[in-house]
Structure 1
Amino acid sequence: MQKRGCIKCGHTEAKTKEIATTGTGLSKMFDIQHNKFRVVYCTNCGYSEFYNSQTSTASNVIDFFFGS
């Protein structure tokens, strides 16, 4: 079994943050931030991946990030 971790540096610790972004068209024009994402990032090198917040939970996202 191979050891899993960050795909860039191999570090095995990650944290998450949530962000919101605008879309296109009117939402961009009026700065309406309706797209929500969870960011999982390596605490060593900062490599980040974005996941749609409506489709995943924090633990599932971290498991996917590290390939568990």
Structure 2
Amino acid sequence: MSKKQYQCEKCGCLDYTADQIQATGGDFSKIFNVQNKKFTTISCKQCGFTELYRNETSSGMNILDFLIGG
């Protein structure tokens, strides 16, 4: 899988790292610690500026996350 071209909006650097984070959504998710929001992060290696992009989550993965205590 090849990296897509990215240019930092702040400093113009072309080097970046990509990662993923998960977060809880509404009240129900917070009570049961279900992390049903997933995001891809793109961070500039030079200045650290980071952008978040929302990923789709499946119901099956949300249920599995709830059952195993995610």
Task: Give your verdict on TM over 0.5.
Answer: yes
Q: Bigger relative contact order, structure 1 or 2, given CA contacts below 8 A and separation 6+?
A: 1
Q: 2:52 maps to which residue?
A: 50
Instruction: Using the aligned pairs only, state the percent identity.
Output: 35
SS in 2 for 1:26: helix
- Please, which runs of 5 or more residues in structure 1 have no aligned partner? 55-68
Structure showing greater radius of gyration is 2
| SS state at 2:30 partner | helix
| Distance in 2, Cα, partners of 1:25 & 1:53 | 20
Q: TM-score, normalised by structure 1?
A: 0.67
- Residue 39 of structure 1 corresponds to 41
TM-superposed deviation, 1:5:
2.3
2:26 is matched with which residue? 24
Q: What TM-score do you get using the length of structure 2 for normalisation?
A: 0.65
**AA paired with 1:25?**
D
